[in-house]
Amino acid sequence: MTQPSRILVTGAGGFIGSHVVTALERRGAEAIPFEGDYHDEDAVEAATRSHSPVALVHSAWRLAPGSSYLDDPAHIEELRASLRLFTLSHRAGCVRLVGIGTCLEYDASAGPTPEDAPLRPRNLYGAAKAALFMSAQAWAQSTDVSFGWARLYYPFGPGEASQRLIPTVINALIRGERVATTAGLQRRSFLYVEDAADAIAAITLSDATGAFNVGSAEASSVRDIVERLAQLMGRPELVDIGTLGPRPGDPDVLWPDTRRLNDVLDWQPRKSLDQGLADTVAWWRGTTTSS
């Protein structure tokens, strides 16, 4: 397959999608933000007719405001809409489709999890994403579609939702507020969002099919992340580790085996964890100052 040059991106105004647009453009592709409602078949057909994309990156996935996102029933409709989007895009001439998955498709693992590990989601979000991956992959194998899947772990950086872990800690410390945490022993794979987006762009612009884990090869404890942020911001005295109880059902480890991404696409992240955290702190400080 020749490298796709005109790529439609859903969710282009969101945290991941906006960085994917930039990453694709840096790699020389024409990234076209999808500006309509991808649940609307007419809007999808109009966009594909107008722009004639040869590839699609589907990074949109909407949730009801104020919902508990892991078990929000809206995931069922997102699954349906995403499958319609894939089939309509293919009908309009897209020959390369890339979806965005989640590490929550897997069961928790004690060590690095490879892409061929069993999918055993514990919540509706992970189940809907796993169902989309399996359905789209099976469908693609019966057509001329080249289908890739970027299974994201814990991207962080500029533009992340303010209620997520890293923005919550940063903004509390900016305000001089105390930060109460659990023991923070659970380990996660944190990857700077520009690197995550570049990995998605690399997947999209290749002819490699199937799933790719997109995360850091190193797992960091939540406690370590919080303490690094406090040190970076000069406010370690504001952190209260262990004052909150553990969250029920929170996995001990979510950590990818990234060798397929490294070997098949010759891809490595550009930023270290400390560099990414420092850039994120600077971005939030700038946002707070300007608001």
Query: DSSP 3-state helix, strand, coil percentages of the chain (rounded to 5)?
Result: 45, 20, 40
164 found inside a domain: no
Tokens of 51: 């722009």
- 174 in any annotated domain: no
- Return the CATH number at 205: 3.40.50.720
Q: Is residue 51 part of a domain?
A: yes
Find, among 67, 64, 73, 75, the residue nearest to 102 by Cα. Answer: 75
Number of domains composing the chain = 1
pLDDT of residue 273: 98
Query: What's the one-letter identity of residue 26?
Result: R
Looking at residue 182, what is its pLDDT? 95
| pTM of the full structure | 0.96
The answer as to whether 180 is a domain residue is no
277 occurs within a structural domain: no
Average pLDDT per block of 10 residues along the chain, 291 residues long: 82 97 97 95 95 97 76 95 97 97 90 94 96 98 96 98 95 98 96 99 98 97 98 98 89 95 98 98 88 57
Residue 204 belongs to domain spanning:
6-156+190-218+253-270
Please tell me the predicted confidence (pLDDT) of residue 290.
Answer: 63
pLDDT for the residue 66: 59
What's residue 228's pLDDT? 98
In this structure, is residue 167 part of a structural domain? Answer: no
Please give the pLDDT value at position 64: 66
283 within some domain: no
Asked if residue 278 belongs to a domain, the reply is no
- At 151, the amino acid letter reads R
Task: Show the DSSP H helices in 159-272 as ranges.
Answer: 165-174, 193-204, 222-232, 259-264
Task: Name beta bridge partners: 7.
Answer: 31, 55
